[in-house]
Amino acid sequence: MKVHYECFACAANQCQKIVEMATDDLELRKKGVIEAARLMSSINENSIPAIFGSEVFLGVYRVVGNDDPFKEYKELSNRLAEEIVKDFEDVGLKEALKLAIIGNVVDFAVGYSPEKLENDVRAMMKEELYVDDSEELFRELSRAKRLLYLTDNCGEIYFDLLFLRKIRKAFSHLKIYVAAKEGPIINDATGDDLKRAGFEEVGEIVSTGTRIVGVPFGRVSKEFMEVFERADVIIAKGQGNFETLSERKDERVFYLLKAKCRPIARELNVPQGSLLCIRSR
């Protein structure tokens, strides 16, 4: 997916959030956003939002001297999600898929009460998926040998773990790989986050080999590309994975996400806010 006109403002807003989370020093905050502006000047009409955004964010990290501004935010996200998911252990495979999508929806903001989160999750479980290719996904999994699951954010990963447990039970023949970032970038999960959450019980954890959001071809590791190329089915969570994979039209890929922003909704030709399990075509 190439950049849309709204993406510039979105990246700028994220940079302001980053400097405010990274430091209390007002001068460093100013230097951080000035660096962001300098880096964003290289954007062109062929830029991919997830890639240029990641490059800008990492540049801001360097200037403010904080390599993981979202650390506390991610830890809170994981604690809240881990508790909530315990109440859904008995759901079926289709419900677990829906929970994985819902996990992409919830904003685990500081101060978000666990009670409110549980109510919100239960409310969203009653919503229909706007596009539901789940039966195609399950059919492909039934005859696949290797599944690659591309994770997105912290917090959300606990919903992913529940879904992968159900996949493991339903399709015990599968070899499962679960991918995360090589290092911290905004609130995305890293390999260490997956290990702490217990993903080794459902599959082999692999790193994309980069901190860039999504799957930035040409920047991922050779080891990751070998896993990617050999996978029979790829489940890609969230908007960043969609942004970096969508133009390949790879029919092995199933996207699980909410169309949170207008550019994503526009690309997918769905209403903004739609819950989606959609196969790449």
Domains of the chain are 7-64 (1.10.8.380), 71-279 (3.40.50.10880)
Q: Is-contact 140 175, C-beta < 8 A?
A: no
Residue that wins the pLDDT comparison between 109 and 250? 250
Residues 6 or more apart whose CB falls under 8 angstroms from that of 259 comprise 265, 268, 270, 271, 272, 273, 274, 276
CB neighbour list of residue 148: distance below 8 Å, 6 or more residues apart: 177, 179, 227, 228, 231, 233, 234, 235
Q: What per-residue confidence (pLDDT) applies to 109? A: 46
Look up residue 183 and give its two tokens: 């290092």
**Predicted local confidence at residue 47, as pLDDT:** 96
- Whether pTM > 0.75 for this model: the answer is yes
pLDDT at 116 over 90: no
Residue 76 confidence (pLDDT):
87
Rounded to the nearest integer, the mean pLDDT of the chain is 94
Residue type at 50 in one-letter notation: A
Terminus-to-terminus CA distance in the chain, angstroms? Answer: 14
Q: Do the Cβ atoms of 164 and 250 come closer than 8 Å?
A: no
Band the pLDDT of 115: cuts 50, 70, 90.
low
